[in-house]
Amino acid sequence: MQKVSLEINGKKVSREIEDHTLLSTLLRDILSLTGTHIGCDTSQCGACVVHVDGKSVKSCTLFAADIHGSKVTTIEGLANNGKMHPMQEAFKKLHGLQCGFCTPGMVMSAVDLLKNNKKPSDQEIRDWLEGNICRCTGYQNIVAAVKEAASKM
């Protein structure tokens, strides 16, 4: 067993967990933060993307023990006092989702993109979202939503 301490969405969390606990398992099964989705569970689909120390990563391919002491932001941590993050607003406004399964990962990945690239082109958005798969194939509106968010942030 490992004692893992993290700061998740601004709150300090400590848990005794099995050594092989994945970050996605810790978030969903132990902390009930089920906004982070598991799609493929083989690090291809990107539904499980969260931020660890400010960088987007796939939480299904990360041991929780490996990031002891880190700051984690999940989709639940984006809204501020009940007000949606501009990226969430833009996805809602422009129908950047259909079934919504991939959306938490798309949003977390896109937020990371805008940290380093304030005004990405369509191609840059598509390149960045390479690791996020939408099986409804709703990419046009996802790209439009990321551009809309970029103009508001």
Binding interface with other proteins (CB under 8 A): 2, 18-20, 22, 41-44, 46, 49, 55-58, 61-63, 65-66, 68, 109, 112-113, 128, 130-132
Q: How far is the CB of 105 from other proteins (least distance, A)?
A: 9
Q: How far is the CB of 35 from other proteins (least distance, A)?
A: 17
Q: Which is nearer to other proteins, 117 or 140 (CB)?
A: 117
CA distances from 123 to 16, 62, 102, 144 (A): 43, 28, 20, 12
Q: Which is nearer to other proteins, 20 or 92 (CB)?
A: 20
What SS3 class is residue 71? strand
Q: Which is nearer to other proteins, 92 or 115 (CB)?
A: 115
Helix residue ranges, H only, 71-118: 86-93, 103-116
- C-alpha to C-alpha distance for 116 and 26, rounded to whole angstroms: 28
Count of residues for the chain? 153
90 backbone dihedrals φ, ψ, rounded to 5°:
-65, -40
Q: How far is the CB of 116 from other proteins (least distance, A)?
A: 9
Q: How far is the CB of 125 from other proteins (least distance, A)?
A: 11
